[in-house]
Amino acid sequence: MKEFLQKLIQADTTSDKGELAAAQIIAAELGLSGIDSRIDSWGQTRANIVAHIKSTGQKAPLLFVCHLDVVVPGEAAWSHPPFAAVESDGKIYGRGSADMKGGIATIVTAIRQVVDTGTRLQGDIILLCAAGEETDSCGVRRFMHERSWLSEPAGIIIPEPTDFAVVTAHRGMIWLKVTTKGKTAHSSAPELGVNAISSMRAFLDELDKYKIDVQPHPLWGSYSMSVNTISGGKAMNVVPDQCTVGIDIRTLPGQNHERIINDFKQIFAWLKQQNPTFNAEVSVDRAVEAMETDPQCSFVREFCAAVGANETKAVGFTTDAPHLRPLGAPIVIFGPGKPELCHKPDEYIDVSDVETAVEHYKKIILKFLL
């Protein structure tokens, strides 16, 4: 299995490269146990892979949902090359080792081991490894669009790295772009133009005072908001006519994204009252709803019993889970790897965690499908 994981890491699936190579590696691995899978590919390099392990059909299926893509390694130096999958000190290093090729390698291995032993299951296993989770969730949205063949699962498991915590809730997010518009002028006579950067400063001052009106949540407390990008201005001697900031807001379950956008528009209106040359617009760059599964539901309780967990947790990061809500099934995030290593240099996964994960996933499959 280690070699399988290493091959998956070596298949660079950052957004430029696409997911097809990794999907082919998974298809070949499943094929070793005679498991058919279907690669759904588009745009030359993008791909989902779906495997459907049929059973007697007396029980509802289990759906496992992974993502094939990884984020870029970034500018910082790595101790081991990010796509070499070097093993050292009981760890395998590489981009995606934790998020989430470790999860993919272990669920595929667990499914293979169940199939190889000839266990007669009473419910189907469906495995989806999807494209684009780190960017626009294109893979899971495509899967959901063509899901007419899929009956309601007993539960959905997302093998993202939780360090074996049973996660039943995550925050949502909305990325907003705010652009202020002005008028260019020669900077020796700035009074003839409208400086878009000055307008942005006025907006950011207001944003500092702004609080979203929302009840604190028992698991997370409050939402978070951070201005993370800014661009504007073309030349040292030209008054800028445009300035754009990117704002990442992490939201709570039930929090209304539309209302935040309306609040922004009200701030614009107020600033325009103060200064008629103020002009701004807001657009949504990306939005993911929050996810919350009832930790007391029977699926979660049985899941916890299967993996020996006494509690469930909530996390700050997002997943493809909200897109799966129309399936009507409880969703649990559970997998090997430390979440704090995700998207960072020197990402790794412990080989011992990989082995433990296979045992957990086998127990889960047998608990619900035997």
Q: Point out which residues bind Zn ion (CB under 5 A).
A: 99-100, 160
Tell me whether residue 124 or residue 160 sits nearer to Zn ion (CB atom): 160
Task: Please report how close the Cβ of residue 316 comes to Zn ion at its closest, in angstroms.
Answer: 13
Task: Please report how close the Cβ of residue 353 comes to Zn ion at its closest, in angstroms.
Answer: 15
Task: Please report how close the Cβ of residue 31 comes to Zn ion at its closest, in angstroms.
Answer: 25
Tell me whether residue 102 or residue 155 sits nearer to Zn ion (CB atom): 102
Tell me whether residue 320 or residue 350 sits nearer to Zn ion (CB atom): 320
Tell me whether residue 124 or residue 289 sits nearer to Zn ion (CB atom): 289
Task: Please report how close the Cβ of residue 81 comes to Zn ion at its closest, in angstroms.
Answer: 21
Task: Please report how close the Cβ of residue 133 comes to Zn ion at its closest, in angstroms.
Answer: 6
From residue 296, alpha-carbon distances to 83, 88, 325, 331 in Å are: 41, 41, 18, 12
Tell me whether residue 12 or residue 99 sits nearer to Zn ion (CB atom): 99
Q: Which residue is nearest to Zn ion (CB)?
A: 99
Rg (CA), the chain: 24
Task: Please report how close the Cβ of residue 191 comes to Zn ion at its closest, in angstroms.
Answer: 51
Tell me whether residue 16 or residue 191 sits nearer to Zn ion (CB atom): 16
Q: Which of 161, 156, 158, 291 is nearest to 219 (CA)?
A: 291
Tell me whether residue 100 or residue 111 sits nearer to Zn ion (CB atom): 100
Tell me whether residue 66 or residue 327 sits nearer to Zn ion (CB atom): 66
C-beta separation of 19 from 46 below 8 A: yes
C-beta separation of 139 from 43 below 8 A: no
Q: Which of 250, 243, 119, 258 is nearest to 184 (CA)?
A: 243
Task: Please report how close the Cβ of residue 67 comes to Zn ion at its closest, in angstroms.
Answer: 6
Return contacts of 140-146, CB within 8 angstroms, 24+ apart: 140/65, 140/67, 140/320, 140/323, 140/324, 141/323, 142/40, 142/42, 142/48, 143/40, 143/48, 143/50, 144/323, 144/324, 144/326, 144/327, 146/40
Q: Which of 153, 106, 159 is nearest to 130 (CA)?
A: 159
Tell me whether residue 123 or residue 337 sits nearer to Zn ion (CB atom): 337
Amino acid at site 133? E
C-beta separation of 92 from 351 below 8 A: yes
Task: Please report how close the Cβ of residue 103 comes to Zn ion at its closest, in angstroms.
Answer: 8
C-beta separation of 192 from 243 below 8 A: no
Task: Please report how close the Cβ of residue 61 comes to Zn ion at its closest, in angstroms.
Answer: 23
Residue where the block lists tokens 């989430």:
100
